[in-house]
Structure 1
Amino acid sequence: MLRKPHAALLAAALLPLGAAVPAAAAAPAPPAQTTACTYTPAVPADKFKGIPVFDAAKAARPYKATLRTSQGAVTFRAEVDKAPCTTYSFKFLAQRAYFDGTHCHRLTTARIYVLQCGDPTGTGSGSPGYSFPDENLTGATYPAGTVAMANAGPNTNGSQFFFVWKDTKLPPAYTPFGKVTAGLGTLRKIAAGGEDDQNGPGDGFPTLPVDIKRVRISS
């Protein structure tokens, strides 16, 4: 699932979207081997909260994240052992209220089945002001309940992520970093409401607005 700082969200799976797909997106780079995590400054920097400094001990602590939205709550368990850079970044942003007051800007209901969130601009072009490498891609699959990173090509992760609300086939190019433990029914309710097809049939802004009121991190 691609975010689109220059264009093309989910373009690898839903062509055309009226924008060029980064050439590298079709052949993702091998996942980075994570012994330490590097967060590289990047633009744009929307709702900037600083850049994480990786702490391996803190990153290893299990947690759950609960997103309280206008359509109901969704909770997922972070896979800190499989995607430490990604889960550390998500926790860093959540604890600084980065996601609070934002909305999920994209829903797909044909061929792939995801709800995309995490962009404070609501355009698909937003970034927290840094990027970091892919993780956990070897053999990656995207069954219902998966939480994974959106990107604009290999190793371009930022703040945007997506929930898989129905089993979905995607190339192993989007870092899986969580599993929904409560609220899959909420995601399916949002999906049943449909979207506006602004990106083509089955791909657009959710008809039921999904405003994230707060993200709570708990052990």
Structure 2
Amino acid sequence: MASSNTRQRKLARAKVDRQMVRRADQERRSRQLKAVFGGVFALVLVGVLGAWSLGAFDAKPTETVAETCAWSPLDLAGNPSLKDAGKPATNGMPTSGTSAMTIAFAGGNVVADLDRTASPCGAASLKYLADSGFYNDTKCHALTHTEGDFALACGDPSGTGNGGAAYSWWMENPPAVEAPSAAPSTTSSAAASASPSPAAATAVRYPAGTVAMTPNLNGSQFVIFYQDSTTETAYSIVGKVTGSGLDVIKKIAQAGTTANEAGEDVKPKQDVVIKTLTVVDNTAPAPSTPASPSAPASPAPSGAATSPKPSASTAS
């Protein structure tokens, strides 16, 4: 029989062998893990370097949206007549179609179509202020009635003509520049009677019903021309009165004017108060319907001249 010492040596040797096997196994797994992590790291590093070479980490310029309307702030401290009403958005407003502006006066409503294609900023400003109630219960401050300038001016809550919303914008839709018509011949009495005033020899820049803004002053004042006007004052045309609303302005003009605080005879003699002013989108117009072929046509003037109806005396 083997001695106890021999047995213990065998057991110790077996233990050492087992420890060496486990250590070798651990080292093998460690090498495998290191190899895997090394491969993953190499792949990530290659991907990062590739993305960097393609400019993925370059600072990208901030995308800017072009402004449709650039509103310029006015000096509130230098002009106490101005009113801080905020400012409309610089973009995102409609730039086509029309809006309906309705002004409720004591004498009736005035409805105008605002041209959002030619005057997107003017239309946007009017809607922005109307939605906030800016114009409600304000007085129109001037009624011009000089030769070539016939307009009712509103939109200044201070009533001075120097105030309004504290922002402005540049000319947007100026009137068309037309050459004045030829002066009537002095040898033709018919032509002279057809043109009794010098204003008739000047091109109309603002037809009756024109609604225009005063952009170089502020963003809220507007005028409504109640008669064809030839004034060279630069207004930004924003729309036109539709329907019978122009009669309301003409009745206001017939009431006359009185001197304002500056001594100018332009203040409406009777207070002209805007009860409410609203702006809403117009619905798309329905397609025009062609005339019915069976509808009788009106006789042409030339036909009436060549084939006159018999008079009562002839018939008898």
Structure-2 separation of matches of 1:206 and 1:172:
20
Larger helix share, 1 or 2: 2
Structure-2 separation of matches of 1:43 and 1:71:
36
1:164 alignment partner in structure 2 = 225
Segment of structure 1 superposing worse, 37-46 or 139-148: 37-46
Whether the 8 Å CA contact 2:165–2:218 is kept in 1: the answer is no
Displacement of 1:43:
2.4
The one-letter amino acid paired with 1:177 is: V
Partner SS, residue 43 of structure 1 = coil
Displacement of 1:188:
0.3
> Percent identity among equivalent residues?
36
Displacement of 1:133:
1.1
The one-letter amino acid paired with 2:85 is: K
1:79 alignment partner in structure 2 = 115
| 1:123 aligned onto 2:185 | no
Whether the 8 Å CA contact 2:226–2:250 is kept in 1: the answer is yes
| Equivalenced residues, count | 182
Whether the 8 Å CA contact 1:148–1:163 is kept in 2: the answer is yes
Check 1:156–1:206 CA distance in 2 against 1; reply closer, same or farther (3 A cut).
Answer: closer
Whether the 8 Å CA contact 1:113–1:165 is kept in 2: the answer is yes
Partner SS, residue 258 of structure 2 = coil
Structure-2 separation of matches of 1:134 and 1:197:
30
Structure-2 separation of matches of 1:61 and 1:195:
36
Displacement of 1:172:
6.1
The one-letter amino acid paired with 1:133 is: W
Structure-1 separation of matches of 2:161 and 2:233:
21
1:37 alignment partner in structure 2 = 69
Whether the 8 Å CA contact 1:47–1:98 is kept in 2: the answer is no
2:211 to 147, 152, 157: 147
2:91 alignment partner in structure 1 = 55
Partner SS, residue 170 of structure 1 = coil
Structure-1 separation of matches of 2:97 and 2:226:
26
Whether the 8 Å CA contact 1:137–1:172 is kept in 2: the answer is no
1:67-125 per-residue CA deviation (whole Å, 9 max, x = no partner) reads: 00122211100011111111111111111111011110101122111100000101111
Displacement of 1:61:
5.1
Partner SS, residue 160 of structure 2 = coil
1:185 alignment partner in structure 2 = 247
Whether the 8 Å CA contact 2:94–2:120 is kept in 1: the answer is no
Displacement of 1:49:
2.3
Structure-2 separation of matches of 1:57 and 1:125:
27
Partner SS, residue 251 of structure 2 = helix
The one-letter amino acid paired with 1:127 is: G
Once superposed, what is the RMSD of the aligned Cα atoms?
Answer: 2.2
1:195 alignment partner in structure 2 = 257
Unaligned runs of 5+ in 1: 1-33
Which structure would you say has the larger Rg? 2
Unaligned runs of 5+ in 2: 1-65, 178-204, 283-316
Partner SS, residue 63 of structure 1 = strand
1:35-57 per-residue CA deviation (whole Å, 9 max, x = no partner) reads: 72101111237442211112345
Partner SS, residue 256 of structure 2 = coil
1:217 to 258, 279, 292: 279
Larger strand share, 1 or 2: 1
